[in-house]
Amino acid sequence: MRKIRICSIAVIALLITAFFFMPSTQAASKVHTVSSSDTVKSIAAKYKISPTQLLKHNGLPDEKLYPGQKLQINSATYKSAQYQWYERGRQIASFAKTFDGFKKEMGEESPEKGFDSSGLIYWTLSQQGIPLDRTTIDGFYKLGMETDSPKAGDLIFFVKKDKAGKVTEVLTGGIYLGDKHFVHSGYGSSAVKVKSVTDKWFKDYSYVFKTFTPKGEHVVQKGETLSSVAARYNKSAAAVKKLNGLPSDTILEGQFLQVYNEPIFPFYSEKDAAYDKATDVIKYAYTFRGYEYVWSEESPEEGFDCSGLVYYVMKQHDLPISRKSAASYSSWLDMISEPKTGDLVFFENTGTRTGVTHMGIYLGNGYFINTTERAGVHISHLSSSFFTKKFHSYGDSASLFQ
C-alpha cells in the first residue's frame, strides 16, 4: 500500500512539474491552415471558439483570410487588456506568424504575390494600423526607435559594425517574436519562415532591435479627457499638455499622446528651430499620426491632405498662416539649402499631378512629418527612394512669422 502511495505521489509531482515548466506552446494550441473556402466564422465554429477569440489570438486586423495562413487555435478565454503597446506588439507578432510558409518574392508586399523582407515588415505593420511608408530595410532601420528591451512585435535587424561599434550596413530584418526568434522573408529561405538568431545565416552578424510601438504613448479613447489621461499616468494635465504641444485642453479620440518626460521620437531640437513655436507645432502634429488622408481637407474630424495638415497644426497655435496648396506655399516661401526644425519640405510630380504636389514639416536629421493616401499622417525620411527622387526644395518658415 505504501509503495502505491509513493508511486501516486511521484506521478502527481511529475504532472505538477510538467504543468508549470513545460513550454506553454505545447499545452496550448492546434494550428489550422486556411483554405480558400474558410471564413473566420467557419473556423471558429469548427473548433468551438468565438470569432473574436480567433481574431485576437492571431492578431488579425479584420476577417480577411489568405489561403495558407497558419492560425493558432487556442481554447483559453481571451482576456482583452486595456489598450497597451505591449498588447499591440503581441498582435503584430501573432499576425506576422500566420504567414509562415508564404513565398519569398523580391519587391513584393502582399500575401497574394509574396513578400521580400521589407515587404513583410511593411504589410504586417501597416495592416495593424502602424502608419508608415513602404521603404527598404535600411529605411525601416532609420525610422525605428532603438530599444534594449525588445518585446514581441518589435523589429530585429542584422547589421555589420565597424571596430568602434558603429553600424556600417543593414543586411536584413524581420519581426521579433521573443525568445530570440523572429519572422523573416529573406536570407537562407525561399519562403517566410520563423527563424532564430543562432541560425547559420545570421549567427555571424550583430543584431539590433527597433520598435514602432513604444510604451510611452497613450491612444485617446472615446470619452477621455486631458485630466483623466493625465491622472492615469500620475501627471498633471498641464504636463501632458506641454509634452504634446496641445494648444488647448481639448483632446480627440485616436490622438497619440506622449506621457514620458522625454520625447519618444527626439527628431526635433529646440535650439535649432525655424520659429519660436516650431517644437510645439511638431509635437502637436505628431499626436495625429495615423489620421486619415482626405484630399482638400484640413481638420482631424474630416481628415487632412498634406497642406491641410500643415495649415491646421500651425493655425491651432495662432500662427498667421492662410490655407494654400503645396505649390502655393512653395512659391510663397524663400528657398533654403540648410533646413531647420519647423521649416517646410516640398516634393514634385507625386501621383498623377505635376509641379510641386506634396509637402511636410521638417523635423531634423532627414525626418519630416507628412500625410499620404496610404499611410495617413506619419513620419518619413528623405533617404526613402521615393522621396529622394521626388524632392524639390526646402522652404524657410521663419519668413512667415517675422
Q: Is the pLDDT of residue 268 over 60?
A: no
Cell numbers at residue 178, please? 521573443
Query: What is the Cα–Cα distance from 278 to 398, expressed in whole angstroms?
Result: 9
List pLDDT tens digits, range 155-166.
Answer: 999 999 998 889
Q: Which amino acid, 152?
A: A
Query: What is the Cα–Cα distance from 117 to 193, expressed in whole angstroms?
Result: 11
Nearest CA among 353, 243, 246 for reference residue 306: 353
Structure confidence at residue 7 (pLDDT): 44
Q: Kindly indicate the confidence band of residue 30, based on its pLDDT and cuts at 50, 70 and 90.
A: confident
Q: Which span out of 112-116, 296-300, 376-380 was modeled with the highest average pLDDT?
A: 112-116
Query: What is the Cα–Cα distance from 361 to 369, expressed in whole angstroms?
Result: 5
Least confident range of 76-85, 202-211, 304-313? 76-85
Structure confidence at residue 215 (pLDDT): 64
Structure confidence at residue 52 (pLDDT): 82
For the residues of 249-301, what is the DSSP string, one character each? S---TT-EEE-SSS-SS----TTSBSSTTHHHHHHHHHTTTTPPB-TT-EETT
The helix or strand, by DSSP H or E, that contains position 369, with its residue range, turns out to be strand 367-372
The answer to whether the Cα torsion of 225, 231, 233, 239 is positive or negative is positive
Q: Where are the beta strands (DSSP E) in 126-190?
A: 145-146, 155-161, 167-178, 181-184
State the pTM of this model: 0.75
Distances from the Cα of 308 to the Cα of 71, 112, 170, 267, 354, angstroms: 41, 35, 36, 22, 19
Query: What is the Cα–Cα distance from 95 to 42, expressed in whole angstroms?
Result: 19
Cell numbers at residue 121, please? 515588415
Q: Kindly indicate the confidence band of residue 83, based on its pLDDT and cuts at 50, 70 and 90.
A: very low
Structure confidence at residue 53 (pLDDT): 83
List pLDDT tens digits, range 164-206.
Answer: 889 999 999 999 999 999 999 988 789 999 999 999 889 889 9
Contact 321, 311 (CB under 8 A): yes
Structure confidence at residue 37 (pLDDT): 94
Q: Is the pLDDT of residue 12 over 60?
A: no
Q: Is the pLDDT of residue 267 over 60?
A: no
Q: Kindly indicate the confidence band of residue 21, based on its pLDDT and cuts at 50, 70 and 90.
A: very low
Distances from the Cα of 271 to the Cα of 208, 240, 275, 287, 342, angstroms: 30, 21, 10, 22, 12
List pLDDT tens digits, range 343-398.
Answer: 999 999 998 889 999 999 998 888 999 999 888 999 999 988 889 999 999 999 88
Q: Which residues pair with 161 in a beta bridge?
A: 167
Q: Where are the beta strands (DSSP E) in 47-101?
A: 70-73
